Structure 1
Amino acid sequence: MYLVEHSGDLFISAEKPFRIKNDMWLLLGVTVLLLGAMIFTVLRLVQQSEEHVDSVKSIKIKVDRANLRPDEGEGDIALKKIIDEDPYRTELQFQHWDLTKDNMKTIGKLETLTQLSLSDCTFKDSWLRYITHLPLTSLDLAGTVVTDDGLKYVAKIKTLTKLEIYDTGVSGRAFEILKPLSSSLTHLSINASSLSDADLEQLANFSNLTHLNMKGTSISESGFESIAKLPNLEEIDFGRTKITKTGLEKLSALPRLNELRLKGCSVDDEMASALLKFPGLRRIELNDNNVSDKTLDGLSKMESLQSLGVRDNQMISDAGVARFRKAKPGCSLISGTKDRRDAL
């Protein structure tokens, strides 16, 4: 009830109290809506925060300690720790280290070491003299600054059977310098900047080689003749090497050759036809070349073939691949082009 004075008289009116009551309900409704919106916003923010935390937790950061370049002094500490942990270790691997003279001396104290990798490390040739007494069977110097002067020390490690010296500063004289190891080496990886026919004649002395990697090397037909004199060769990698059909045919005389890698060698169908003369090839890599279905049809007739790689040969069709697989169901075929893979 609400009293209203009008022209000196009093009378009772219920209109204004009802209006106030309606306003209160309206205000309450707005308040509830605002509160609900605030609660929804807070809950959404909490959810997003939890999702962000979960995504951060799911991220795995991989740190390859071997790729770190320790400062001078840190390398000595790291090597000392390695020796303290296992003074009789047989394997040791470094990568991208700026090795010091003391580092090399410390490595030389590991008298049971048989496998050593210093790939992409920097050091002086003369420091290799500190490891010549080790019973190493495997030495990886790929990507280092080693030159012919350093190889003179390597040649003194008479126990070596595996040596990797590709992408280094060695020259074609490497075969002559390494001649003291000609009877012990079975695995050799090299791509000297300049290899003459005379240099490759020295390679013929390494008669016990079973694995030869000469990727990115310039080899003449006469050079292929020298390689063909290695009777125990089982695997050859000529990736990115300029070769000819005649040169390939010379290698068919190798009695034990079972794997031949010719990635990026500009091999065409005519050149690839020489592969049919290899009696024992089980694995052939022809990735990134210029062969077509004609080569696939020909190689499908090779009884010994167990694995064939023909990726990134634009002239090979799906139909050619299907024919090959039907003709040789037991042979592993790796095919396709970059464009097709990107389209998947």
Structure 2
Amino acid sequence: MRLFLLYLHILLFNFPSFSLSSSNFLCHPEDSYALLQFKSSFTTYTNYACQEQPQKTSTWKNGTNCCSWHGVTCDTVSANVIGLDLGCESLQGNIYSNSTLFQLSHLQSLNLSYNDFFGTHFHSKFGGFQNLTHLDLSSCNFQGEVPPQISHLSKLISLHLSRNGQLSWKETTLKSLVQNATILEELILDETNMSSIHPNSLNLIFNQSSSLTNLNLQRSGISGNWKNNILCLPSLQELDLSKNDYLEGQLPNLSCSTFLRILDLSYCSFTGPIPLSFSNLTYLTSLSLIDNRLNGSIPSSLLTLQNLTSLSLKDNLFISGQIPDVFPKSNRFQKLDLSSNKIDGQLPKSLSNLQHLINLDLSSNSFSGQIPDVFDGLTKLQELRLGYNRLEGQIPPSLFRLSQLDYLDFSNNKLKGPLPEEISGFQNLGYLFLNNNLLSGKIPSWCLSLPSLGMLDLSNNQFTGNISVISSYSLYYLKLCSNKLQGDIPESIFNFANLATLCLSSNNLSGVVNFQHFSKLQKLDTLSLSRNSQLSLNFESTVNYNFSILSTLELSSVGLIGYSKLSSGKFPGLRYLDLSDNKLFGRLPNWLLNIDSLQSLGLSHNMFESMDQFTRNQWQNLQGLDLSFNLLAGGISLSICNKSSLILLNLAHNKLTGNIPQCLANVSSLQVLDLQENKFYGTIPNVIGELQALHGLNLSHNRLTGSIPQSIGNLSSLESLDLSSNILTGVIPAELTNLNGLEVLNLSHNHLMGEIPQGKQFNTFSNDSYVGNSGLCGFPLSKKCGPKQHSPPSANTLGSEEN
């Protein structure tokens, strides 16, 4: 026995690396009591951010050793509770000043993140944990001001208070904290309120912080002009000031922070060029300056930083010259995003050196010339976006050998020529966008048989020939519209259970298609077959078509005659229906009248003769109604005024007559009203000036008489006004000069007289706006106004003078 005790004594005292688990000690009763009381003061809720996290407090049982409880750490010598981790515990309730949490005075680490303490103020008692080295209260819904007592936590190494939007800082509190916590390394305060702190004060706050390595002030409300040479922190490795929309001025000179690895200044309002001093940040691995107002050229020295793996300069104003052709073979780029700028010139051939690249986005610029054949070495490339440029010529063959590519967008360029008939890559391609180019030839079979393809857009090209058999069973988005495709729609298209969008419009497709087959596509949301004049749709009147989630149906110019073949169908979710440019007439089918969800109905260029069916109580959510180019006669039904959601009403080129209804003023949401080429007579109702949302008003080519209402001058959103070819008399109201956004004005061919009003937009209109009014004079007409030809003042002007 004595030998055993001697051995144990040697083991415990002569080998300091050996220690017993904290759970082998019985925790102090007062700590156990404090923890159980703290737990009992909360309820739990469904926390979707932490769904897979097991609940730690389920192991907390009275009478058991709290040092063995999940989330609890005890000191191995004193057995005091020194660590409490209840992050993602789904606790809900308040932490009051008498909470037993504050009795755990030996805490060194406290994590309460991702719980809901909504309404709880950040108590000064948190400043009593003077041994605390790590404090994480992020995403807890704390509110109020951070108390000055937080500066008592002088041993802090890490402080996380992020995503507490109602938590605010005073400059003095933050300064005291940083000055007292001399070993602080991590300060994560994103999405707290620091709007009272001017950016130039940050230098005063952090100038003594030699230990800080990670500073996050993202979306903290800092605003004002940033002066140079601030935040010169010698140990700083990560700095995030992104999403402070009103933080402006030029980018700071951060060359003094020589160890900086990650820098994010995105979504601010910085201006000017990228400082050359950024090229001195040789440890930099990630730089993000997205969505600022930066201009000038991209420094070539920035592109040669050997440790830089991610560079994002998206959404700025870089315009000068092309990308420097300087990428070294030693680069480590994995992500390069220069999209949405104004960079021009040709793509550099040294792109071939970016052999670690995973994501390359140069879209929405002004690049021109051919795409260089540089892809053989980019074997890791997964995303490639060159859309919305001015690139031309053929797609280089090396591109089609990439095996890891998942996303390819070359849309909206001037690329031409055929696609290769066979390829060896693209096994993992999920998204292919080649739309809006000049590509020609047949669509190769591989385009429609890639095993992982989900989205394919080849629309607006010059592809010819038949559509081959489609076997990409993962397809849910297929657009082949606006080409020169011929032949039948392949039967294989009806086998795609996941297909949600199908656009085959504006081609030369032919043959007979049983419309019922499209109802097999249970996830179909958008179907467009418009403008295929040789295509014949077979609607069997005995079949009840069920399109449960179809929201958009475009069947214009497909030779539909009457409604006898459209007598049945279920379209419970249809919102946009275009049946224009057919030969439809007669009564509308009940299935169409009963679609409560309908928002837009296009029936132009048909042979309808009456408005009765279009103006009843159906379609209360209708926003757009186009009945132009029909044979509508009679007056406008007053029930049209009950469609309060209507944004566009187009009744142009019909045979409508009578007065323009006064009740149209009730449709306050109306933005476009087009009644041209009808037989309306009477005066323009003065209430037209109550349609404050109007952008376009066209009453031309009717038989309207009387004067132009002064109230039109109240339509502050109006961009286009056409009252031409009527019988309007009187002067042009001076109130129309108040229409600051007016871009199009046509008052020609009326009987107007007097001087044309001057000022603002009226000074930009030419003679064409007034031709055919022999009584008009003044600029821009060559006819000068005599003493008796000046326009009289408006009624409003007279009223103001009398007052």
TM-score by length of 2: 0.29
Say which SS state the counterpart of residue 649 (structure 2) adopts. Answer: strand
* Closer/same/farther in 2, CA of residues 152 and 123 from structure 1, 3 Å limit: farther
Following TM superposition, by how much is the alpha carbon of 1:100 offset from its aligned partner in structure 2, in angstroms?
Answer: 4.5
Task: Determine the structure 2 residue equivalent to 1:233.
Answer: 574
User: Which of 503, 512, 516 does residue 172 from structure 1 map onto?
Assistant: 512
1:213 aligns with 2:548: no
1:92 aligns with 2:433: yes
Task: Determine the structure 1 residue equivalent to 2:667.
Answer: 328
By relative contact order (CA 8 Å, sep 6+), the higher-ranking structure is 1
After superposing the two structures, state which structure 1 stretch, 104-113 or 88-97, moved more. 104-113
Structure 1, unpaired ranges of 5+: 1-59
Task: Determine the structure 2 residue equivalent to 1:285.
Answer: 626
Following TM superposition, by how much is the alpha carbon of 1:302 offset from its aligned partner in structure 2, in angstroms?
Answer: 2.9
User: Which of 489, 500, 507 does residue 161 from structure 1 map onto?
Assistant: 500
1:307 aligns with 2:648: yes
Contact 2:487 2:510 in 1 (8 A): yes
Q: Which amino acid aligns with 1:158?
A: A
* Closer/same/farther in 2, CA of residues 291 and 100 from structure 1, 3 Å limit: closer
1:140 aligns with 2:479: yes
Structure-1 separation of matches of 2:487 and 2:391: 24
Structure-2 separation of matches of 1:66 and 1:154: 32
User: Which of 525, 528, 545 does residue 189 from structure 1 map onto?
Assistant: 528
Q: Which amino acid aligns with 1:230?
A: F
Structure-1 separation of matches of 2:605 and 2:513: 26
User: Which of 607, 611, 614 does residue 275 from structure 1 map onto?
Assistant: 614
* Closer/same/farther in 2, CA of residues 215 and 264 from structure 1, 3 Å limit: same
Contact 1:68 1:97 in 2 (8 A): no
Following TM superposition, by how much is the alpha carbon of 1:303 offset from its aligned partner in structure 2, in angstroms?
Answer: 3.9
Following TM superposition, by how much is the alpha carbon of 1:263 offset from its aligned partner in structure 2, in angstroms?
Answer: 1.6
Q: Which amino acid aligns with 1:147?
A: G
Task: Determine the structure 2 residue equivalent to 1:224.
Answer: 566
Task: Determine the structure 2 residue equivalent to 1:80.
Answer: 400
Contact 2:628 2:654 in 1 (8 A): yes
* Closer/same/farther in 2, CA of residues 98 and 170 from structure 1, 3 Å limit: same
Structure-1 separation of matches of 2:549 and 2:459: 25
Q: Which amino acid aligns with 1:246?
A: R
Contact 2:562 2:586 in 1 (8 A): no
* Closer/same/farther in 2, CA of residues 295 and 172 from structure 1, 3 Å limit: farther
Say which SS state the counterpart of residue 99 (structure 1) adopts. Answer: strand
Contact 1:195 1:219 in 2 (8 A): no
Contact 1:285 1:310 in 2 (8 A): yes
Contact 1:136 1:160 in 2 (8 A): yes
Structure-1 separation of matches of 2:589 and 2:434: 36
* Closer/same/farther in 2, CA of residues 209 and 330 from structure 1, 3 Å limit: closer
Contact 1:137 1:161 in 2 (8 A): yes
Say which SS state the counterpart of residue 672 (structure 2) adopts. Answer: strand
Structure 2, unpaired ranges of 5+: 1-365, 370-386, 409-430, 677-699, 702-723, 725-744, 749-768, 770-803
Say which SS state the counterpart of residue 223 (structure 1) adopts. Answer: coil
1:111 aligns with 2:430: no
Bigger fraction of residues in helix: 1
Structure-1 separation of matches of 2:634 and 2:666: 13
Contact 1:88 1:110 in 2 (8 A): no
Report Cα offsets for 1:185-209 as digits up to 9, x if no partner. 12111246323442x7668143332
Q: Percent identity?
A: 15
Q: Which amino acid aligns with 2:513?
A: R
* Closer/same/farther in 2, CA of residues 291 and 176 from structure 1, 3 Å limit: closer
Structure-2 separation of matches of 1:279 and 1:126: 38
Structure-2 separation of matches of 1:224 and 1:297: 28
Following TM superposition, by how much is the alpha carbon of 1:178 offset from its aligned partner in structure 2, in angstroms?
Answer: 4.4
Instruction: State the number of aligned residues.
Output: 269
Structure-2 separation of matches of 1:180 and 1:284: 30
Q: Which amino acid aligns with 1:263?
A: S
Report Cα offsets for 1:123-164 as digits up to 9, x if no partner. 5446443xx22632221222442433x522323333211111
Structure-2 separation of matches of 1:242 and 1:88: 43
Report Cα offsets for 1:92-151 as digits up to 9, x if no partner. 1335522346x542675583542423445435446443xx22632221222442433x52
Q: What are the residue-to-residue correspondences of 1:23-102 with 2, within 5 Å?
A: 74=394, 77=397, 80=400, 87-89=406-408, 90-95=431-436, 96-100=438-442
* Closer/same/farther in 2, CA of residues 127 and 326 from structure 1, 3 Å limit: closer
* Closer/same/farther in 2, CA of residues 331 and 126 from structure 1, 3 Å limit: closer
Report Cα offsets for 1:241-260 as digits up to 9, x if no partner. 22234125652122322221
Q: Which amino acid aligns with 1:221?
A: Y
Structure-2 separation of matches of 1:212 and 1:259: 10
* Closer/same/farther in 2, CA of residues 330 and 94 from structure 1, 3 Å limit: closer
Contact 2:585 2:607 in 1 (8 A): no
* Closer/same/farther in 2, CA of residues 327 and 248 from structure 1, 3 Å limit: farther
* Closer/same/farther in 2, CA of residues 300 and 290 from structure 1, 3 Å limit: farther
After superposing the two structures, state which structure 1 stretch, 88-97 or 275-284, moved more. 88-97
* Closer/same/farther in 2, CA of residues 311 and 123 from structure 1, 3 Å limit: same
Contact 2:448 2:472 in 1 (8 A): no
Report Cα offsets for 1:218-256 as digits up to 9, x if no partner. 1433323224x3222222101112223412565212232
- Note the aligned Cα RMSD (angstroms): 4.1
Following TM superposition, by how much is the alpha carbon of 1:215 offset from its aligned partner in structure 2, in angstroms?
Answer: 0.5
Structure-2 separation of matches of 1:67 and 1:226: 48
Structure-1 separation of matches of 2:657 and 2:391: 43
